[in-house]
Structures are given as C-alpha cells and as structure tokens.
Amino acid sequence: MKLILSDCPLSIQLPDQGDVKWIDLSRLNIANCVGCFGCWTKTPGRCVIRDDAVKVYPLIARSDTLLYISRIKYGGYDTVMKTMLERAIPVQQAFIRILAGETHHVQRSVVPKDATILAYGDTGEEERAIFRKLVARNAHNMNFKTYRIFFCREEEVNDFTGKELKAWNVC
C-alpha cells in the first residue's frame, strides 16, 4: 500500500481506491509518547495510549511506498510529524541488532519502504544539511529501502505533492 502522512491539510484529490491512503495528522488527536516502553515490554506491538496514533502506525508498517510531508524545525521534523514518529515505536522490538555496522532496534512486520520526504518551510542550507543526515539515520530505524528528500516553501506543498502523486500514477 501507499501512504501519505501530512502535518497539514492538502488540496489534493485522491481516487477512491484502497491502495492509497492519505492521513492529515493535524486533524488527529495524538498524544506525546511517554516513554513507558509498554509497547516493547508490557503489551508488545501495541501502544498503551489508545488515541488516533494507533490507527496510523500499523499503516506505516504495512506501506511499501511513503510520502511524509512536514514542516522542518531546527533541522528535524516539526511537532506534528515528530509526535507521530515517536508514537510509531510499537513497530520495533526492544531488542537490538547490528545493522550497517551500528546497533539498531529489531523491526516487527515492517515492509521495506521507498520513502519520499517533502520538508517545507523557510529553511537554509545548514538546516537542510541536518535534515538530510536525520533522514539517512531514520532510514535504518524506519526500514527505508530507498529515500528521496525534497525541500520547498509552504506555499509550494500542494504543487510538489501533486507532482509526486503523478509519479506514483495516482492522480
């Protein structure tokens, strides 16, 4: 399946088909991760906070193609997207493996992904450089098979999204 996660409303029309899902995180009720490790040790694979995040992280795990659309802040994802990414740790196990010469968490049933990240906002090259490093590191922990990063201004988000969906043969 293909999944679009955005931290803002978008002016896009998606065909009514089951293979593509768009979630506007800004419309959901998602609390901060409290770092309880419940999803690793008490109810493995299941977050103990039963809010809207529990509808999202299984979709992240199942998707083979991802588009994340997020404002960028201090070289990272801004609050809305970052809150969801932190709440997605039930897709990992507590246990550690060696991957690409580093220690990382073992993944549960997480499909390898082709990820596209659209990072928007008034960013300079310094902030973009940090974000590129962040996504490269995320790739190990979020099972990205490939990833591409695009930067744009806020007013360009809909245009960029439309182009990406055309590349997916969705619109």
Minimal distance in Å, beta carbon 41 to another protein? 4
| Nearer residue to another protein within complex by CB, 8 or 14 | 8
User: How many CA atoms does the CB half-sphere of 40 hold within 13 Å?
Assistant: 16
Minimal distance in Å, beta carbon 72 to another protein? 11
Q: Can you tell me the distance from the alpha carbon of 163 to that of 150, in angstroms, rounded to the nearest whole number? A: 12
| Nearer residue to another protein within complex by CB, 51 or 159 | 51
Asked if residues 112 and 126 have their Cβ atoms less than 8 Å apart, the reply is no
User: How many CA atoms does the CB half-sphere of 162 hold within 13 Å?
Assistant: 9
Binding site for another protein (CB under 8 A): 32-37, 40-42, 44-46, 54, 57-58, 61, 73-79, 82-83, 85-86, 88-91, 93-98, 101-104, 106, 108-110, 126-127, 130, 133-134, 137-138, 141
Asked if residues 5 and 81 have their Cβ atoms less than 8 Å apart, the reply is yes
Query: Phi/psi at 115 (nearest 5 deg)?
Result: -110, 140
| Nearer residue to another protein within complex by CB, 79 or 146 | 79
Minimal distance in Å, beta carbon 49 to another protein? 12
Q: Measure CA 24 to chain center.
A: 12
Minimal distance in Å, beta carbon 119 to another protein? 13
| Nearer residue to another protein within complex by CB, 30 or 170 | 30
Minimal distance in Å, beta carbon 13 to another protein? 30
| Nearer residue to another protein within complex by CB, 83 or 165 | 83
Comparing CA positions, the residue from 83, 157, 61 lying closest to residue 117 is 157
Q: Is 121 helix (H, G, I), strand (E, B) or coil?
A: coil
